[in-house]
Chains A and B, each alone.
Chain A
């Protein structure tokens, strides 16, 4: 489908036809103080050669460091076939095409994706993806308010062990739509959410409880106990899950006696490169009883007049082109390309491969924690089982230590001091299946050297 811009002559002809002198006259009714002026501080346009050069220089500056940062985006091995297939002309689009049913291949791919995500989360129905993990949580909170018809409070309990960026994005998106997000403290021994912290809400109208598994600290939550508490007290459960971890952990649909009601999360670990932070894709799955409250597109399998299998967009009355302002959201399929990479990744590695990836992550992180915590000045913050991340506490501020590691080509982890000042100088580290014992030894050796030097800024 070619994109043909209007020529100046086209614009002139259209303005003449409606008797308007200048295109700005069309916007006259907008008061002057509400109009945006020309963009200040934006440099002149670059041509293709210039922008190519600039991007290469910036990419080179990133270097090829050894990355032990997780905190929501994870470096995993991506089979070469994934992007070789995704970039084929037949698939290379971010969107569901207009006249969607004419593109049976795209619809089938989305259907396969939904099937895999439903199976991975242990829930009945998945949508065709969302923007990213953080906005998926916001959408899940809005959906919970719509789905929970007996609850009028729109109160969502968010443990502090949920990715703080997700919590912030959820507040930014849904906070002005009358949703109230309330923090829950965590246990300082285990780094997890305990049911005791929920007791003060008993007897109150709570719409939903968010449970992240594994949580932001990498710690495993008591998902069964938390889920059962929520259901016993009339709240829905929103699970935020890492899809790699679902290779070995219990699916949200099996948490507690009844299972989580909505599962969402970040799809990036499934075949999407880190790419300096995006684009990624979000995912969401739920029970069939809530499907009409789910945002996003849904593809269904059906039969045509001759009984042949075909794929079609379904339940579209939830969507903006039909329900307008009352649609469940304005999400369509912008992340379709990334979702497709996730589908191909999952189909290539399969359930066994995903379990192997997850197990390797656990083993490598165990080795990393053992190596780093044997260094004087490093201790492990929490004593609970974990997936592929852990919180370490240092004897000095984290920032300069990370800078010193970066100078040696090692990205040492995520500095938690800004979001969790109460933990002191705390560092979140991660080792996926991509980190070998030699990588871990190199990190431990470098950190040992850096911490051996007396630090100029001792803690009180």
Chain B
């Protein structure tokens, strides 16, 4: 059973979102996603300054099994990509909700947060995907 922290928001495409009081969303892929991908070997994060719309493919995670796009859960401007992942992509496997964060986006429209899943809804999604 994968770990789903109660204080985060989630997407159906298995990204997580942590919003700071300053209106910056930290984004990564969920514990379930990293387990499904297996050992990560390469991660491409967006450049600071890039404007993204919710749903845009804005990062790539490549594992020994597959390469997948990561979609922006919210619109806004990228403040920072996690540079540490270039050398140590395995941080995502080791700590998906912490050191394995992918990018930080300054929220362009905080109303978008309403459409994200809460922990309970995401757990239900995972349970339904198991069938």
Interface set of A (CB-CB < 8 Å, partner B)? 149-150, 292, 317-318, 322-323, 326
Contact = CB atoms under 8 A, between A and B. Distances in A.
Given A292-B42, A317-B42, A149 B47 contact: yes
Contact of B67 (A149, A150, A323): A323
A326 B69 contact: yes
Interface string B65-89: 0110100000000000000000000
A317 B47 CA distance: 21
B14 to A, nearest CB: 18
Contacts of B66: 317, 322
Contacts of A292: 42, 44, 62
A323 B67 CA distance: 7
A387 to B, nearest CB: 39
Nearest to B67: A317
Contacts of A149: 47
Q: Main secondary structure on chain A at its contact with chain B? A: helix
A322 B67 CA distance: 7
Contacts of B44: 292
Contacts of B42: 292, 317
B47 A150 contact: yes
Interface in B48-100: 62, 66-67, 69
Nearest to B66: A322
Nearest to B42: A292
14 contacts: A149-B47, A150-B47, A292-B42, A292-B44, A292-B62, A317-B42, A317-B62, A317-B66, A317-B67, A318-B67, A322-B66, A322-B67, A323-B67, A326-B69
Contacts of B62: 292, 317
A415 B44 CA distance: 48
A149 B47 CA distance: 8
A318 B62 CA distance: 10
A392 to B, nearest CB: 50
Contacts of A150: 47
Nearest to A293: B44
A326 B70 CA distance: 13
Name the residue among B47, B62, B67, B69 with the largest chain A CB count within 10 angstroms.
B67
A398 to B, nearest CB: 51
A83 B50 CA distance: 52
Interface in B22-63: 42, 44, 47, 62
| Pairs A-B, 4 closest by C-beta atoms | A317-B67, A317-B62, A149-B47, A323-B67
Nearest to B63: A317
Contacts of A326: 69
A52 B82 CA distance: 63
Contacts of B67: 317-318, 322-323
Given A149-B47, A318-B67, 10 more contacts: A292-B42, A292-B44, A292-B62, A317-B42, A317-B66, A317-B67, A322-B66, A322-B67, A323-B67, A326-B69
